[in-house]
């Protein structure tokens, strides 16, 4: 599998990003920029061509591009983030996806939806009920994706659904049972191990902060590509947050 990866470079105000469940720590902009470059290089090395959304230096959370759009085939569902200060991030993403020839639709007020709450597994879309995604947003997503089965998911103690659970190449969930309850879930060795990006085939992208989980996944036969995103993890970010993959 290959295609495009929508990404956005971090701006100089990234340290001001929203923190909800963690104690705020200093974030080094230069280190964050270098980590982002390495992250994008890892995607490119796995066959995903980077497509950069224009910089948004006045929007601290802008590199977490996943929250602004949900892609289903050639349809881009432009979200309406639950945090009002993040809503200006969406317009530049809308311009890029239209430039790529994708059809686009929108979540309308008063609905809210963050892309980090949307986990797509085959024809099923799991959507977290969170402080950022409200019931109307989930209802609208269901109407916009009539060919997909939408499954709302309760969770606790995390910002987004994909902060607690993602999916492995074999279709099994990997996640924290303290935060979410889904069937047949593989429990990672570290919290960051709950976050993987599927790169195609048996390849997954994983944070270097989950070395024991990496070993576990390699023993299961997966190819694990590791990236350091420590500056983003200080802001409740994970490997899924920093890109939106659009398959060819």
Q: Residue 70 and residue 51: Cα distance in Å, rounded?
A: 16
Q: Residue 220 and residue 193: Cα distance in Å, rounded?
A: 14
Q: Among 21, 29, 160, 179, which one carries the catalytic annotation?
A: 160
Q: Please say whether the beta carbons of 20 and 63 come within 8 A.
A: no
Element (H, E) at 230: helix 230-233
Q: Please report the pLDDT score of residue 198 as a whole number.
A: 98
Q: Please say whether the beta carbons of 213 and 190 come within 8 A.
A: yes
Between the alpha carbon of residue 186 and those of residues 190, 193, 211, the distances in Å are: 12, 10, 16
pLDDT per residue rounded down to tens, the chain (248 residues): 689 999 999 999 999 999 998 889 999 999 999 999 999 999 999 999 999 999 999 999 999 999 999 999 999 999 999 999 999 999 999 999 999 999 999 999 999 999 999 999 999 999 999 999 999 999 999 999 999 999 999 999 999 999 999 999 999 999 999 999 999 999 999 999 999 999 999 999 999 999 999 999 999 999 999 999 999 999 999 999 999 999 98
For residue 74 the two structure tokens come to: 């050639």
Bridge partners (DSSP) of residue 118 are: 127
Q: Please report the pLDDT score of residue 171 as a whole number.
A: 96
160 belongs to the catalytic site: yes
Q: Please report the pLDDT score of residue 97 as a whole number.
A: 97
Q: Among 36, 179, 238, 241, which one carries the catalytic annotation?
A: 241
Question: How do the domains of the chain map onto residue ranges?
Answer: 3-247
Q: Residue 118 and residue 139: Cα distance in Å, rounded?
A: 13
241 belongs to the catalytic site: yes
Between the alpha carbon of residue 216 and those of residues 24, 121, 187, 212, the distances in Å are: 30, 22, 10, 6
Region 3-247: CATH code? 3.75.10.10
Digit-coded pLDDT (tens) for 116-149? 999 999 999 999 999 999 999 999 999 999 999 9
């Amino acid at each position: 599998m290959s295609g495009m990866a929508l990404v956005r470079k971090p701006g100089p105000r990234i340290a001001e990003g929203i923190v909800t469940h963690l104690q705020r720590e200093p974030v080094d902009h230069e280190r964050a920029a270098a980590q982002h470059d390495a992250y994008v290089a890892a995607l490119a090395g796995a066959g995903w061509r980077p497509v950069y959304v224009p910089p948004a230096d006045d929007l601290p959370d802008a590199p977490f591009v996943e929250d602004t759009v949900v892609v289903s085939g050639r349809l881009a569902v432009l979200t309406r983030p639950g945090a009002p200060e993040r809503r200006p991030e969406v317009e530049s993403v809308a311009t890029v996806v239209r430039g790529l020839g994708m059809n686009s639709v929108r979540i309308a007020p008063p609905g809210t939806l963050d892309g980090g709450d949307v986990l797509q597994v085959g024809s099923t879309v799991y959507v977290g009920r969170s402080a950022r995604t409200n019931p109307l947003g989930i209802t609208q997503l269901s109407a916009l994706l009539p060919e997909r089965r939408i499954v709302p998911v309760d969770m606790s103690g995390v910002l987004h659904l994909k902060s607690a659970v993602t999916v492995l190449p074999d279709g099994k969930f990997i996640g924290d049972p303290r935060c979410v309850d889904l069937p047949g879930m593989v429990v990672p060795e570290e919290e960051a191990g709950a976050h993987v990006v599927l790169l195609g085939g048996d390849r997954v992208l994983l944070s270097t902060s989950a070395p024991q989980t990496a070993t576990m996944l390699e023993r299961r036969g997966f190819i694990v590509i590791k990236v350091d995103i420590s500056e983003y993890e200080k802001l409740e970010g994970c490997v899924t947050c920093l890109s939106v993959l659009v398959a060819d």
